[in-house]
């Protein structure tokens, strides 16, 4: 089955602006589907005006489907009796005069042309399963009245309204629906809408109330505009999305002014109880803050350990012991750098460029005492999962120290740290020195260096590869670590 974008791009001559507008319409047309209890199909014209393609389809959640099969990608070709063709040519909303049988089910069909910049850019076909029509009542009457208004707005190309809804959290018809007259009072509130307002402490009925007075004054709710809404204050005069919360609960409100022709036709407010969602968010924020505090305390403790090792190394009378204590201090400081970055973020990944810069700063401070040695980063590590960041920081520390101590030795020069990402998302880390290079006949694993053993073990734990080789066409050597993409997935 073709996607909507494939149909629009490959089957029509619609402009990019019209294609984008239709995509926005389809993201919001669930409201028309649910209030009309109807399946919707969007037909778009081919370059040949006698051919139309099904670009999108929507089933209602408020009633039974009238279309058992998916029709996206199907076409209507040279069928002058089709309701879609009639609506396209007449530029008027068309409907069947009697129920049409589809798979043995009586179905009422409407065809609504969408007119923008005086052109029909699409036709919405409404299919209503008459066998599953709900018994008449206040809810059904209100929903169908709203559906007729939305059909008119669709015909005139003024629906959907900005701002767009959030596909995850914005309320829908089934969550709760309130219909407000032009006089500003509530003429209908669905049972779910009443239940949502009960969560805020509502006692009694909503009928005949002003939703603004009810929400702000009687229930004492604080109104917060959703960031994407663009609305400044809570009002039924313009579209917007808001959170209304008080000590008892929180509900999300989506305000949609309706129009019929050139006249205002009331206001639709959909509401959803998001109290539990907000409580879970607060719990997550508390947990995140706790985890950040733990990282901060671990960092402080590690820095204390590093300071103690530094003091101990200065009091040592053995050069070998002093070097060992210094190496241990550097390793502890590299782990502390990871925890410092993690303590500043809510993410499960660390911005490893900051970690690497702190490590190179430490390495550079020591190297500067020897004179003429520089350590610098060229390239970006990107985000690295917390579970990998500690191992990678130790690997970087060991490779930089090895490049300075064994690569450059007593000579001046530079150490270049060159991280890069592969097309698959893996990481390649090159630590390049300008020293004498590897001795002739060097074999990986032939050395008993603790640093090399640490790097080999950590890289193996990350499922990566570690190699050493002389720089081609120049002095010095390169330590290369490759970490696969699967290890770096958060």
CATH of the domain at 34: 3.30.450.280
Is 111 found in the same domain as 216? no
The pLDDT of residue 175: 95
Q: Is residue 259 part of a domain?
A: yes
Q: Is residue 139 part of a domain?
A: no
Is 283 found in the same domain as 254? no
The pLDDT of residue 328: 80
Q: Is residue 246 part of a domain?
A: yes
Whether the CB-CB separation of 385 and 463 falls below 8 Å is answered with: no
Number of domains composing the chain: 4
Tell me the per-residue pLDDT of 49-60, one tens digit each, with 9 for 90 and over: 899 999 999 999
Q: How far is CA 420 from CA 360, 429, 431, 481, in A?
A: 17, 7, 12, 11
The pLDDT of residue 56: 96
Structure tokens at 307: 């300071």
Residue 413 sits in a domain of what CATH number? 3.30.565.10
The pLDDT of residue 99: 57
- Predicted TM-score (pTM) of the model is 0.66
Q: Is residue 164 part of a domain?
A: no
Ranges in the chain, pLDDT < 50: none
Is 338 found in the same domain as 265? no
Is 474 found in the same domain as 356? yes
d(CA 25, CA 20): 9
Q: Is residue 160 part of a domain?
A: no
The pLDDT of residue 122: 96
Which of 318, 342, 366 is the C-terminal boundary of a domain?
Answer: 342
DSSP letters along 322-377, please?
HHHHHHHHHHHHHHHHHHHHHTT-SSSEEEHHHHHHHHHHHHHHHHHTTSSEEEEE
Is 8 found in the same domain as 150? yes
Between CA 386 and CA 394, with CA 388 as vertex, the angle to 5 degrees is 110
Sign of CA dihedral 320, 325, 326, 330: positive
Q: Is residue 56 part of a domain?
A: yes
d(CA 201, CA 224): 18
The pLDDT of residue 405: 77
Is 236 found in the same domain as 184? yes
Residues whose CB is less than 8 angstroms from the CB of residue 137 and which lie 6 or more positions away in sequence, other chains included:
none
Whether the CB-CB separation of 93 and 36 falls below 8 Å is answered with: no
The domain of 419 spans: 347-490
Is 455 found in the same domain as 382? yes
Q: What phi and psi, each to the nearest 5 degrees, are found at residue 38?
A: -130, 150
d(CA 306, CA 317): 19
Is 308 found in the same domain as 212? no
Is 127 found in the same domain as 52? yes
d(CA 403, CA 455): 13
Whether the CB-CB separation of 217 and 240 falls below 8 Å is answered with: no
Tell me the per-residue pLDDT of 125-152, one tens digit each, with 9 for 90 and over: 999 988 766 667 899 999 999 999 999 9
Q: Is residue 22 part of a domain?
A: yes
Q: Is residue 168 part of a domain?
A: no
d(CA 29, CA 36): 11
d(CA 428, CA 459): 12
Is 230 found in the same domain as 293? no
Which of 250, 273, 296 is the C-terminal boundary of a domain?
Answer: 273
Between CA 344 and CA 348, with CA 345 as vertex, the angle to 5 degrees is 140
């Amino acid at each position: 089955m073709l996607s909507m974008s494939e149909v629009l791009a490959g089957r029509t001559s619609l402009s990019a602006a019209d294609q984008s507008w239709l995509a926005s319409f389809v993201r919001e047309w669930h409201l028309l589907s649910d209030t009309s209890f109807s399946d919707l199909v969007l037909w778009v014209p081919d370059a040949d005006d006698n051919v139309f393609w099904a670009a999108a389809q929507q089933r209602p959640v408020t009633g039974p489907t009238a279309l058992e099969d998916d029709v996206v990608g199907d076409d209507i070709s040279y069928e002058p009796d089709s309701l879609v063709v009639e609506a396209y040519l007449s530029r008027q909303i068309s409907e069947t005069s009697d129920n049409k049988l589809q798979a043995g089910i009586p179905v009422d069909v409407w065809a609504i042309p969408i007119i923008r910049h005086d052109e029909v850019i699409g036709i919405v076909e409404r299919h209503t399963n008459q066998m599953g029509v709900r018994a008449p009542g206040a809810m059904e009457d209100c929903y169908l009245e709203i559906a007729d208004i939305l059909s008119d707005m669709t015909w005139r190309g003024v629906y959907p309204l900005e701002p767009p809804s959030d596909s995850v959290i914005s309320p829908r018809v089934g969550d709760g629906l309130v219909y407000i007259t032009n006089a500003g009072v509530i003429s209908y509130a669905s049972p779910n809408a009443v239940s949502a307002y009960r969560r805020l402490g509502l006692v009694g009925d909503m009928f005949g109330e002003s939703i603004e007075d009810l929400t702000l004054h009687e229930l004492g709710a604080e109104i917060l505009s959703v960031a994407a809404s663009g609305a400044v204050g809570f009002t039924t005069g313009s579209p917007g999305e808001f959170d209304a919360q008080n000590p008892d609960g929180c509900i999300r409100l989506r305000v949609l002014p309706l129009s019929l022709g050139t006249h205002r036709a009331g206001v639709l407010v959909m509401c959803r109880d998001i109290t539990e969602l907000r409580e879970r968010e607060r719990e997550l924020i508390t947990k995140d803050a706790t985890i950040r505090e733990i990282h901060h305390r671990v960092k402080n403790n590690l820095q204390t350990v590093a300071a103690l090792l530094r003091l101990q190394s200065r009091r040592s009378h053995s050069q070998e012991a002093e070097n060992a204590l210094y190496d241990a201090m550097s390793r502890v400081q590299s782990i502390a750098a990871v925890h410092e970055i993690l303590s500043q973020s809510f993410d499960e990944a660390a911005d490893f460029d900051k970690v690497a810069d702190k490590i190179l700063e430490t390495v550079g401070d020591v190297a500067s005492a020897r004179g003429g040695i520089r350590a610098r980063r060229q390239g970006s590590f990107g985000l690295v999962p917390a579970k990998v960041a500690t191992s990678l920081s130790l690997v970087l520390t060991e490779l930089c120290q090895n490049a300075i101590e064994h690569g450059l030795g007593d000579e001046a020069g530079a150490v270049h740290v060159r991280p890069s990402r592969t097309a698959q998302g893996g990481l390649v880390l090159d630590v390049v020195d300008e020293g004498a290079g590897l001795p002739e006949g060097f074999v990986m694993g032939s050395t008993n260096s603790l640093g090399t053993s640490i790097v080999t073990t950590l890289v193996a734990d990350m499922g990566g590869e570690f190699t050493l080789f002389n720089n081609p066409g120049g002095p010095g050597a390169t330590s290369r670590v490759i970490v696969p993409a699967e290890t770096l997935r958060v």
